[in-house]
Chain A
Amino acid sequence: MRPALIAFLVLLAVLAGLPFYADNLTVFVTMCLAKSLAVLGILVLIRADQVSFGHAMYFAIGAYAAAFLSSAWRDIDLTLLVLAAMAASMVAGLLVGLFVTRYRGIFFGMINLAFSMVLYSILEKAFHITGGSDGMRIRRPTLMGFEFKRAEFDIVMFYVSLGIAAVCFLLVWRYLRSPLGQALRAVKTNETRLEYLGLSARHVLLAGYVVSAVLCGLGGVLMGTVQGLATPEHGFWSRSAELVFIAVLGGQGHVAGAFAGTVIFETVRTFAAAILDDSWQLILGVVLIAIILWAPGGLVELWQRATRRRPRPASEPVETGRQSMEVRR
């Protein structure tokens, strides 16, 4: 077996045992898992060299889809909530994606931001439908017909999140290695060459965009259900910024970066935010600049530097190719 797969299974086993030896950490890790799914979504787009400053909108769409369902039917099943969130974020991702995938780089990032600010202000202003800035409650759902008490439900949510996250990370890992995922990387390197191969760069990016929207939606429904609340805050630009930040912190070289980045980010925030609440964004900004200037590959690159002799991550030769093209221009 490949070492990466072994590491994945060991991590899964360690996490699965969490409720037995570190009960007080389960809710924290559940939230990390939910958020890391959204970060994974950002990571998919970064593969194509695109940054979205508005992906928190799909996070909010996931959470609100669950909130609307749970306020319409009392004892709804968690499976339905998750499916509804996936469907809602997929449809939204497809509609917005059809438009934004015409653009790259700056336009791509900023138009996403514009869409997310529109959604945020709608969620905040239409208070008779969405509860305004107070948000909507998400009632504790049943699972396969069973009802749970608060403490039990936390454990249930933990295993559900762990299961969903494990499947998603595996699937995304597979996806990025598949021809479609490789084509995503080619969008970054050279689109025109990609199209000479007979593939539509727009469709490749659209597929990636919908995948990333669904991942964010999944993160949103899990986070919303754990907190029992969907608020416009979930879709605010600073949330999108946080997701991008964590993705860059984790590094774009490997899907594991998304999870490692989220755990470190959330740990630091939980322990430091109480003291540094006033200067939290300031610190994020400074750290982000430091990463970009000195370790653009993030945690993944630092890990590869530490474990291998090779000073550069494996993805580098692709970029040198691109730079040489630009010099010859």
Chain B
Amino acid sequence: MTLNLVVLALLDGVAYAALLFLVAVGLTLIFGVLGILNIAHGSLYAIGAYVTATLGQWLVAAGYNPWLTFPALVVAAVVVGVVLGGAIERLLLQRIYSKEPILQLLVTFAVFMILENLQRMIWGVQPYYMSEPLTLLGNVSVLGINYTAYQVLFLPLAAVAVLIGLRWFLRHTSMGAQILAVTEDREAATAIGINATRVYLMTFILGACFAALGGALATPTTSLVTGMGANMIVLSFAVAATAGLGQIEGAAISALMIGIARSFAVYLSPELEVIMPYLIMVLVLLVRPSGLFGRETVRKI
């Protein structure tokens, strides 16, 4: 393996890890606060991507400045996150918080089936493209390798911005403090006047926005096909589980690990590409059953 290939694999890996992190951090945030693993998360990612593609294509076709596709990425993500995420939490999840965990899992799975189907009905099965942001930013040269600036700079910066923003939001704002309080102990938080129902809703919407943002930012780098949601939910679960469910900073590290390992697999032995993330997850979980940064939960007697 030459140096060039190593650099190329690293760049690929970092760009991919940035997207993985965005989706996984939403998943892990929702789990940390609500205690629900949202299987429909992968669909939010896919739908975020499709909405972005549609919006971007419309902007370009209508003759607007192509730079407008950048705000369109964020707008699409927020719209999908607020509308879909809000609807799922309000109409469905709020009815099942008191039910058994197995039933909660099944409900989000049902939502996943519904959303996958809706996505196929709306956008069909033909692939979608929207590469304006990628071409607009042009290429940069890293150690003699030409690579798109969108993937080398924009995606990692966006991921880092989300990570820092989320840390700041949770530690230095009132809403963030309320979220942390509810995570620690819902009953005690309610007793001191925190509206836990609202905190749940806000957290779910925030998490959904991250998933949709991951999809929106992925749009310029790939063609959108059916089934991308199913792949992403398992992948982002692998990332979140490797880090330990509920660990936000940990998710960034395990996303980097899995993203880079995967892109090296692409260059070294392509048949391992699909297996790589799960291999890492299984190896980590064998040694540390609750993830790299996860805490052992105390068992109830």
Contact = CB atoms under 8 A, between A and B. Distances in A.
B105 A105 contact: yes
A237 B116 CA distance: 13
Interface stretch (B4-12, B94-102, B162-170, B204-212): B94-102
Nearest to B116: A281
A50 interface: yes
Interface residues of A, number: 48
Contacts of B275: 118, 121-122
B103 A279 contact: no
A241 interface: yes
Interface residues of B, number: 43
A102 interface: yes
Q: Tell me if B's interface is mostly helix, strand, loop or mixed.
A: helix
A46 B106 CA distance: 12
B172 interface: no
A163 to B, nearest CB: 33
B121 A288 contact: no
Given A114-B281, A285-B111, A292-B110, A109 B105 contact: yes
Contacts of B154: none
5 contacts: A111-B281, A118-B278, A121-B275, A282-B113, A296-B99
A43 to B, nearest CB: 13
Nearest to A280: B117
Interface in A17-72: 46, 49-51, 53
Interface string A106-141: 110111011101100110011000000000000000
A192 B110 contact: no
B299 A106 contact: no
B241 A282 contact: no
Contacts of A117: 231, 234, 274, 278
A292 B241 contact: no
Contacts of A319: 100
B101 A193 contact: no
A34 to B, nearest CB: 23
Given A106-B37, A106-B105, A248-B106, A278 B120 contact: yes
B113 A288 contact: yes
A287 B113 CA distance: 11
Contacts of B300: 190, 192, 325-326, 329
